[in-house]
Amino acid sequence: MIVDEATRQCAIVDPAAEASYEDSQLADYVTSSSLQVVGILLTHAHVDHIAGLRQCCEHYGLPVTMHPEGRKLLNQAEAYGSVMGFAVDNMGDLEVLEINDNDIIKVGETEVECRYVPGHCPGSICYVVASDKAVISGDALFHFSIGRTDLPGGDYPTLISKLKERILVLPDDYRVLPGHGIASQIGKEKKYNSFLV
């Protein structure tokens, strides 16, 4: 979640809640923290990142914000989910707000820069929040690792080149907040990530 402290506006990133109690936990957190949800952002449309997307969009009355290259995955979510053991709704009719590389999203007074980093899958976006010295990397970059590239639409050389061109150029003290696992820092990834050194 991206939170603008000045206005208490926020954007939910990758709403992956599969069960109703998880949806309730998120809604309770938003209410108890006096937050106003103004955006629902996807790093990418793999089913483990969008299981709660329909409920989230409907609850807050917002479109999903994503890169247009991810639309095919979003439309296939229900079928992929059944194969992979996820209970995922049909997402094909959700309203989509398309974003592209270098677009700036405003969450209150906080600027969020979109950086297109395909390779893990089509439509993969990393969100750079300069005011927090952070990048939300989805499944493109992990602590000392990278996203898998063996799923449909994955491409290893593209992922490596895009990470080096678009993410590792950030300052060393920027935090890396991945979609799974522990956080890291750009400087550590440049020095110790064997895929990128």
Which domains, ranges and CATH numbers included, belong to the chain? 2-192 (3.60.15.10)
For residues 142 and 112, the answer to whether their CB atoms sit within 8 Å is: no
Q: What's the predicted TM-score (pTM) here?
A: 0.95
Q: What is the pLDDT of residues 13-71, one digit of tens each?
A: 999 887 778 888 999 999 999 999 999 999 999 989 998 999 999 999 999 999 999 99
In this structure, the dihedral spanned by the alpha carbons of residues 13, 14, 18 and 20, taken in order and rounded to 10 degrees, is 20
Per-residue pLDDT of 75-105, as tens digits, reads 987 776 666 666 677 888 999 999 999 999 9
Q: Are 88 and 47 in contact (CB under 8 A)?
A: yes
